[in-house]
Amino acid sequence: MQIAGTQAVISGGASGLGEASARALAKAGAEVVIFDLDEARGMAVAAEIGGLFCRVDVSDPVSVAKGLESLSPQICVNCAGIAPAAKTVDRDGQAHDFALFSKAISVNLIGTFNLASQCAAKMMQAVAQGPDGTRGVIINTASVAAYEGQIGQVAYAASKGGVAAMTLPMARDLARSGVRVMGIAPGLFLTPMLEGLPQDVQDRLGAQAPFPSRLGTPAEFAALICHIVENQMLNGEVIRLDAAIRMAPK
Ligand SMILES: NC(=O)c1ccc[n+]([C@@H]2O[C@H](COP(=O)([O-])OP(=O)(O)OC[C@H]3O[C@@H](n4cnc5c(N)ncnc54)[C@H](O)[C@@H]3O)[C@@H](O)[C@H]2O)c1
């Protein structure tokens, strides 16, 4: 699918990987709509790229429906996410907080499902385009934690494992409608989450990747987003974008 002339909805587009994706898709000619909770950053990014911002909580299906009300996207990128850290049982013997576990699932897994499924319903109303009869593409952000969750990542890993597992059945569900579904499982990327860490900690994290031994840049993630949109044969798969990193227990 060509990016130019499409409408792209990007959750988490106010920051990090979502922001880079918003910038790259806008540069390639898409009309970008950012869905995020962070109004100040979301509006600033949208203004810079000539896009739109809408305050949407992806974990709330009503909020997602309101955000999509007047839109007809061909591209849906799910980047909204949170990464709470807690062990199954903490050092004082307390079981993992239910609300924290539930929040990770609500935002990362159910939030991704909400936006993906509602965008798909919108895409199906459109006229199919091109020789393949394309109506759209949905890209969900998992994590290498879907496969190698570290100590303290039980909730995050469960949520991202769900995102990865959803990819194939969602692609199969939507195949007849001409909508592709892909996942990306990033390794370690330099986003505001990691930018707050001291340089030596950033360097140590980056050194864990075999090659290149550094943190990924949001622009490298965004480049894969654009490639997935443009390459019609990519469907139903989760791509690890991780410089061959395999996370250790801690
Ligand atoms: N940075 C990494 O190294 C890395 C690695 C693997 C996976 N990921 C995943 O990539 C995605 C983006 O990560 P990032 O590093 O850019 O994070 P980030 O914190 O920079 O951006 C996440 C954005 O999501 C928004 N958000 C959070 N909850 C929301 C909600 N309920 N509704 C709408 N928006 C919400 C935040 O306001 C923020 O703008 C996340 O899903 C994250 O789990 C990141």
Ligand 1 proximity of 141 Cβ (cutoff 6 Å): yes
pLDDT number for residue 37: 98
How far is C-alpha 164 from the geometric centre of its chain's CA atoms? 11
| Domain assignment present for 117 | yes
Ligand 1 proximity of 83 Cβ (cutoff 6 Å): yes
**Which ligand 1 atom sits nearest the alpha carbon of residue 60?**
31
DSSP 217: P
| Residue located nearest, by CA, to atom 43 of ligand 1 | 81
Q: HEC string of 94-136?
A: CECCHHHHHHHHHHHHHHHHHHHHHHHHHHHCCCCECCCCECE
| Domain assignment present for 43 | yes
| Domain assignment present for 57 | yes
56, 79, 160, best to mutate for ligand 1 pocket (most atoms within 8 Å of CB)? 79
How far is C-alpha 167 from the geometric centre of its chain's CA atoms? 12
The verdict on whether omega for the bond into residue 212 sits within 30 degrees of 0, i.e. cis, is yes
Q: Which mean pLDDT values do the consecutive 10-residue runs of the chain (250 residues) have?
A: 98 98 98 98 98 98 98 98 96 97 98 99 97 98 97 97 98 98 98 86 92 98 99 98 96
CB contact at 8 A, 124 and 167: no
| Residue located nearest, by CA, to atom 11 of ligand 1 | 79
| Domain assignment present for 210 | no
Ligand 1 proximity of 11 Cβ (cutoff 6 Å): yes
The pTM (predicted TM-score) of the whole model is 0.98
75-78/52-55 β-pairing? unpaired
| Domain assignment present for 233 | yes
| Residue located nearest, by CA, to atom 1 of ligand 1 | 189
Residue 80 φ/ψ region, left for φ over 0, alpha for ψ in the -120 to 50 degree band, beta for the rest? beta
DSSP 216: B
Question: Ligand 1 centroid to 77 CA: how many Å?
Answer: 12
Residue numbers of the domain that contains 78:
7-188+218-240
Please give the angle made by the CA atoms of 185, 137 and 230, to the nearest 5 degrees: 85
pLDDT number for residue 198: 85
Would you name the residues annotated as active-site residues?
156
For residue 120, what is the domain's CATH number? Answer: 3.40.50.720
pLDDT number for residue 201: 86
Q: How many domains does the chain have?
A: 1
| Residue located nearest, by CA, to atom 35 of ligand 1 | 80
| Domain assignment present for 123 | yes
pLDDT number for residue 49: 98
pLDDT number for residue 197: 81
Q: Tokens in use for 38?
A: 């962070």
Ligand 1 proximity of 107 Cβ (cutoff 6 Å): yes
Q: Which residues pair with 129 in a beta bridge?
A: 134
| Domain assignment present for 156 | yes
Dihedral of alpha carbons 109, 25, 52, 126, sign: negative
| Domain assignment present for 249 | no
